[in-house]
Amino acid sequence: MHTIYQFVSGPLAWIAFILFAGGCIYRVAALLHTVYQKERFIFSYMSWRHSLNSIFHWIIPFASVNSRKHPVMTVVTFVFHISLILVPIFLLSHIVLWDEAWNITWPALPDGLADVMTVLVILSCVFFLARRIVLPEVKYVTSASDYVILAIVAAPFITGFYAYHQWPGYSFVMILHILAGEIMLIAIPFSRLRHMLFSVFTRAYMGSEFGGVRHARDW
Amino acid sequence: MSKTVLVIKWAVFILIFITSSALCQYDMVEIDNSVFGDPARPPSVFEHDAHNENAGLDECNICHHVYEDGKKLEYESSEDMYCSDCHSVKSENGSPSLRKAFHMNCKGCHLEQKAGPVLCGECHRK
Ligand code: HEM
């Protein structure tokens, strides 16, 4: 038990965080490099004003036409992404571990709120899964990898929730949780989850092209 | 009710009260977390005497330590004090905060000896 715990929370955690950080930097650098090589003229019309305008309109629920067309999807995606990012960063349990390992701390979410947000993430995953199975137009463009990615995202939340409530098999699930978290971190730069990194650039580009070249809005 | 029965009842009651409070330390089954104000977790389990006997900890100052000029004193101990008397809830000038002092002390030894709980829910049992 101690050996397994020390392994998954020691060397494996190091590997996961290094691959995560290194992978993210590599991905963004590679993207900028490709654009620079192939379509350098894009930089000539990139504008902070149009970029921020576009990002802003897509990040606020119901501020873009597309989001108004699909209200249920908009609410679920919004709640899902907010919780997905905030819970792991501001969870008390995670902060306790950062404090012990690196002597750094920051304010935590109340455990009760984090617990509710965790349930919301799990329910959102169920919603996304159902959508893929039920809606023909979504089912048509769904491949096996979409299910795998959904599972990778849901796993740390399901196991974390189970562990927090100390249901039977606590220590086993706790180890599974750490592994699931590490798999998800590694998957961010190396799977389709990298849209987490790229969405900002996509919107900046679309906003600048629509705003500066076509003189139209992209939201 | 006769007077003697009443006196005996009171005597028994007071006796139980006195012995139970005198045995307080032996009865310690968890670590009081009220100094944390609004604790986020259930108090940690810790059967003081049974724990130290099982783990073979004879020296009190493994935990109840005293420092001078940043060095731990070998023959001094502080079992007459609470950990919170020296470690404040908020970390101050380099010495560990109370939460961290407990975690480093308890979890630190358990990891080192590969025995005893290391996961949150093994100590903060619901
Ligand atoms: C190195 C990786 C990780 C470690 C060592 C770790 C550790 C922990 C620990 C110790 C707990 C507390 C369990 C308890 O209270 O008994 C926890 C809970 C949790 N963790 Fe992680 N975790 C990791 C990665 C992640 C990631 C990447 C996510 C999400 C993307 C995540 C989401 C959660 C959630 C949702 C909970 C439960 C919160 C609740 O229901 O209140 N963890 N984790």
Domains of chain A (ranges, CATH numbers): 2-213 (1.20.950)
ipTM of the complex: 0.82
Q: Which residues contact A180 (CB under 8 A, 6 or more apart)?
A: A152, A155, A156, A159
Task: List Cα–Cα distances, B1 to B6, B9, B15, B36, B97, in angstroms.
Answer: 7, 11, 21, 48, 57
User: Residue A111: its chain B contacts at CB < 8 A?
Assistant: 40
CA distance A93 to chain B (A): 8
User: Residue B42: its chain A contacts at CB < 8 A?
Assistant: none
CA distance B114 to chain A (A): 6
Phi-psi label, residue A63: left if phi above 0, alpha if psi -120 to 50, beta otherwise: alpha
H or E element: which one contains A187?
helix A170-190
C-alpha to C-alpha distance for A87 and A117, rounded to whole angstroms: 7
- Cα of A9 vs centre of ligand 1, distance in Å, is 12
- Least confident interval from A131-140, A172-181, A209-218: A209-218
Tokens 């001078």 belong to B68
> Is the distance from CB of B58 to CB of B116 less than 8 angstroms?
no
What is B31-123's CATH superfamily?
Cytochrome C3 (3.90.10.10)
Q: How many CB atoms lie within 10 A of CB A21?
A: 12
Residue ranges covered by each domain of chain B = 31-123
Q: How confident is the model at residue A94 (pLDDT cuts 50, 70, 90)?
A: very high
Q: Does A34 touch chain B (CB under 8 A)?
A: no
CA distance B111 to chain A (A): 7
pLDDT score, position A172: 97
C-alpha to C-alpha distance for A82 and A73, rounded to whole angstroms: 14
Question: Cβ contact (<8 Å) for A171 and B119?
Answer: yes
CA-nearest residue, atom 20 of ligand 1: A160
H or E element: which one contains B67?
strand B67-68
In this structure, chain A runs to a length of 219
| pLDDT digits 0-9 by tens, A115-131 | 999 999 999 999 999 99
Query: Which structure tokens are listed for A45?
Result: 């019309």
Residue A154 has pLDDT above 90, yes or no: yes
| pLDDT digits 0-9 by tens, B72-120 | 999 999 999 999 999 999 877 677 899 999 999 999 999 999 999 999 9
Task: List Cα–Cα distances, B11 to A158, B6, B18, B23, B24, in angstroms.
Answer: 56, 9, 11, 18, 20
C-alpha to C-alpha distance for A174 and A171, rounded to whole angstroms: 5
Average of pLDDT values for A168-175?
97
User: Residue B103: its chain A contacts at CB < 8 A?
Assistant: 96, 100
Residue A143's nearest CA partner among A89, A80, A191 is A191
C-alpha to C-alpha distance for B64 and A136, rounded to whole angstroms: 67
- Compute the radius of gyration of chain B from its Cα atoms: 19
Q: How many CB atoms lie within 10 A of CB A105?
A: 16
C-alpha to C-alpha distance for A34 and A30, rounded to whole angstroms: 6
Question: Cβ contact (<8 Å) for A166 and B125?
Answer: yes
C-alpha to C-alpha distance for A161 and B107, rounded to whole angstroms: 23
Question: Cβ contact (<8 Å) for A170 and B122?
Answer: yes
Tokens 């903060």 belong to B124
Phi-psi label, residue B45: left if phi above 0, alpha if psi -120 to 50, beta otherwise: beta
Question: Cβ contact (<8 Å) for A165 and B126?
Answer: yes
- Cα of A177 vs centre of ligand 1, distance in Å, is 7
Q: Does A66 touch chain B (CB under 8 A)?
A: no
**Coil, strand or helix at B72:** strand
| pLDDT digits 0-9 by tens, B2-43 | 677 777 677 666 665 555 544 445 588 999 999 998 999 999
Q: Which of A2, A92, A111 sits opposite B111 (nearest CB)?
A: A2
First vs last Cα of chain A: how many Å apart? 52
Amino acid at B62: I
**Residue of A5, A8, A85, A93 best suited for mutating to test ligand 1, as the one with most atoms within 8 Å of CB:** A93
- Name the E strands within A128-174: none
For the CA of A121, the nearest atom of ligand 1: 35
C-alpha to C-alpha distance for A121 and A119, rounded to whole angstroms: 5
Q: Does A4 touch chain B (CB under 8 A)?
A: no
Question: Cβ contact (<8 Å) for A171 and B114?
Answer: no
Q: Which of A2, A92, A164 sits opposite B118 (nearest CB)?
A: A2
pTM assigned to the model: 0.89
User: Residue B118: its chain A contacts at CB < 8 A?
Assistant: 2, 5
Minimal-distance CA residue of chain A relative to B124: A166
